[in-house]
Amino acid sequence: MAVIPVNIAGRPYEVRVGAGLLAELVPHCRGKLRKRDVPIVTDANVHAAWGDVVEASLRDNGHEPHWRILPPGEHTKSWDELAATVNWLLSLEVERGDHIIALGGGVIGDLTGFCAAVLKRGCKFIQVPTTLLSQVDSSVGGKTAINTPAGKNLVGAFHQPSLVLADLSALETLPTRELLAGYAEVVKYGLINDADFFAWCDTNGAKMVAGDSALREYAVAHSVAAKARIVAEDEFETTGRRALLNLGHTFGHALEAETGFSNRLLHGEAVALGMVLAARYSARKGLMPMASADHVAQHIGEVGLPASLSALGLDCNGAALVKHMLHDKKMDAGTLPFLLMKGIGKTYLDKQVSLEDVADFLDGEL
């Protein structure tokens, strides 16, 4: 097991990464579950796969689990589920010092974290991420949110968990497509500022995706540490440092919007292709060699993620994709800061990018 200490603005917590943590949930919580009753929010898929294991660990240690089993999928991050889950927690008489357990992917983590942020003006919660994406990204860093009709993640709070337990065994029941989508966020940490880690991904990524547990532990622990470092430097996304985590996300968001945030393109798949586009656009601007952009595309394609925009077969033009970008939360006083690359591991925030130029570039890629 790897233990990564996270310290964000003087609030330390641990991220534990290893196999078999769900079966030993209570010992790993190390005294944080101070009452007999323990509220757990999850979704139906995760409950079907891991509910018994978690239930047994709680009961064997004298706890009474109270389950809230929500429908899987993005729709669960809604005002309605927020209200219903907060009311449910109130009915359980959860107090500020109590911990709520979020057992699931990013949907469950984001919703439960937001419930914890607003319940009694902030109570505690433990993230138990069960997707690769939530283990390497959403469970660490304290962003919580729900979606509204105006867009994704537009209402939320910064609220750090007290503990994150990333059980690699949970990935055994995760559909391969979801696993690969999470892998896109792993590669992202290499491309942002760690060329050595990109090289590691290049050598080991396929084996890691195929199931090698030692490689999985290394990839998750390294990614968590990378995210924790960046968030610690810029908890509230004010200095631009945290924005680095959005590499590939501006292009990716446009692709998700164009495909209606549907199953056609998962978030991680959109980010994978978005990173290829960011690399190719950077190369076209002369910021880095096209051979480096090709290297990024080659690795992403080799593991089985989408690496070519034309292969998606979208029925739109570059201007339409750029129009989606204008609704991006990162729009700031009429300009959209773009993450570009001066090389692999050399991502920077560029505020001078012309959206007409981006549209023109995308026309050539479609």
Query: Catalytic positions, please?
Result: 121, 143, 185, 227, 237, 242, 246, 249, 253, 267
C-alpha pair distances (Å), 63 with each of 60, 102, 362:
7, 16, 55
Provide the residue count of the chain: 366
Q: Do the beta carbons of residue 234 and residue 242 sit within 8 Å?
A: yes
The CB-of-171 to ligand NAD minimum distance in angstroms stands at: 6
The CB-of-62 to ligand NAD minimum distance in angstroms stands at: 26
Instruction: Decide if residue 358 touches ligand NAD (CB under 6 A).
Output: no
Alpha carbons 270 and 213: distance in angstroms, whole number: 26
Count of residues that interact with ligand NAD, criterion CB under 6 A: 29
Instruction: Decide if residue 269 touches ligand NAD (CB under 6 A).
Output: no
In 108-260, where do the E strands start and end?
124-129, 143-148, 151-158, 163-167
Q: Do the beta carbons of residue 362 and residue 318 sit within 8 Å?
A: yes
The residue whose Cβ lies closest to ligand NAD is 106
Q: Is residue 137 part of an annotated ligand binding site?
A: no
Tell me whether residue 49 or residue 355 sits nearer to ligand NAD (CB atom).
Answer: 49
Q: Do the beta carbons of residue 106 and residue 138 sit within 8 Å?
A: yes
The CB-of-77 to ligand NAD minimum distance in angstroms stands at: 6
Question: Using the 8-state DSSP alphabet, how is residue 164 labeled?
Answer: E
Among residues 347, 353, 139, the alpha carbon closest in space to that of 246 is found at: 347
Q: Pick from 174, 270, 305, 358 the residue near ligand NAD by CB under 6 A.
A: 174
C-alpha pair distances (Å), 176 with each of 115, 209, 210, 273, 304:
30, 8, 9, 18, 10
Q: Which stretch binds ligand NAD (CB under 6 A): 72-80, 158-166, 236-244, 329-337?
A: 72-80
Q: Is residue 108 part of an annotated ligand binding site?
A: yes
Q: Do the beta carbons of residue 23 and residue 57 sit within 8 Å?
A: yes
Q: What is the 3-state secondary structure (H, E, C) of 165-192?
A: EEEHHHHHHCCHHHHHHHHHHHHHHHHH
Q: Is residue 267 part of an annotated ligand binding site?
A: yes
Q: Pick from 85, 112, 138, 292 the residue near ligand NAD by CB under 6 A.
A: 138
Please report, as residue ranges, which positions from 188 to 247 form the binding site for ligand NAD (by CB under 6 A): none
**86 to 125: interface string for ligand NAD, x by CB under 6 A:** ------------------xxxxx-x---------------
The CB-of-46 to ligand NAD minimum distance in angstroms stands at: 5
Q: Is residue 185 part of an annotated ligand binding site?
A: yes
Question: Tokens standing for 104?
Answer: 């699931």
Instruction: Decide if residue 72 touches ligand NAD (CB under 6 A).
Output: yes
The burial class, CB within 10 Å (0-12 / 13-18 / 19+), for 53 is: middle
Alpha carbons 218 and 211: distance in angstroms, whole number: 12
List, as residue ranges, the binding site for NAD(+): 106-110, 130-131, 143, 152
Binding residues for ligand NAD, rule: CB under 6 A, are: 43, 45-46, 49, 72-74, 77, 104-108, 110, 130-131, 133-134, 137-138, 141, 143, 152-153, 170, 173-174, 178, 267
Bind-site residues: 106-110, 130-131, 143, 152, 185, 249, 267
